[in-house]
Amino acid sequence: MLFENPINLNLKDADVVYYPNFFSRDIADSFFASLLNQINWKQDKITVYGKTHLQPRLTAFYANNSSAYKYSTIIMHPNAFSGDLLKTKNAIETRLNINFTSCLANLYRDGLDSNGWHADDEKELGKNPIIASVSFGAERLFHFKHKLDKTQKTKLILQHGSLLLMQGGTQTYWQHQIPKTRKTIGKRINLTFRIIA
């Protein structure tokens, strides 16, 4: 593991820290390859304004308890942590000294897969959720915008092996998204570790 120079994004009303090289290149390469196969990827349907669509990415939910995760119209029931997902969880927990119960995993198959503007502010995450978001594979842009102060927005590239730690008021005051890109790019895995009672 590397854990080099964390960067505080210094966002108003939020607490966001980016660790560009949280995992070494070798470990990131190896976890990326294994997690593509080890994770129970599915494409869920989502209903927006009464219309049902397939989500523009694959997802899976893992937890060390039986609590389901509900967001939008989707209810996800947990798989058990194992393999390199468990190794990733252990590495983060040791470094951050925070224990997570759950992980929502995302697989962006190419540049047309995406994750629209949202905040992870579901009730079951509690007040001021702590979310540790790991990226493996293709680099993608991550956008932030303040919910109230329209002058406040920023973007960063989430690198292979990086960790983005969001806490404090981040989910209360900001939204984030992974926009689509027309560039020809490969797959990206994102693992968002969360605490769900």
Residues that bind Fe ion (CB under 5 A): 120
**Least gap, CB of 52 to ligand AKG (angstroms):** 20
89 binds, among Fe ion, ligand AKG, none (CB under 5 to 8 A by kind): none
**Least gap, CB of 17 to ligand AKG (angstroms):** 15
152, two tokens: 């406040």
- Nearer of residues 31 and 50 to ligand AKG, judged by Cβ: 31
**Least gap, CB of 71 to ligand AKG (angstroms):** 8
**Least gap, CB of 194 to ligand AKG (angstroms):** 9
**Least gap, CB of 196 to ligand AKG (angstroms):** 13
- Nearer of residues 120 and 139 to Fe ion, judged by Cβ: 120
- Nearer of residues 21 and 106 to ligand AKG, judged by Cβ: 106
Closest residue to ligand AKG using C-beta atoms: 190
H or E segment and range at residue 134: strand 131-137
Tell me, what amino acid is at 18? Y
Instruction: Give the long-range contacts of residues 35-44, CB within 8 A, separation 24 or more.
Output: 35/83, 35/84, 35/85, 35/88, 35/105, 35/136, 35/189, 35/191, 36/107, 36/187, 36/189, 38/82, 38/83, 38/84, 38/85, 39/85, 39/105, 39/107, 39/189, 40/79, 41/105, 41/107, 44/74, 44/76
151, two tokens: 């002058």
135, two tokens: 């990226």
184, two tokens: 């020809």
Closest residue to Fe ion using C-beta atoms: 120
Q: Which residues bind ligand AKG (CB under 6 A)?
A: 104, 106, 115, 120, 133, 142, 158, 176, 178, 190, 192
178 binds, among Fe ion, ligand AKG, none (CB under 5 to 8 A by kind): ligand AKG
- Nearer of residues 29 and 120 to Fe ion, judged by Cβ: 120
- Nearer of residues 120 and 124 to ligand AKG, judged by Cβ: 120
CB proximity list for 39: less than 8 A, separation 6 or greater: 60, 85, 105, 107, 189
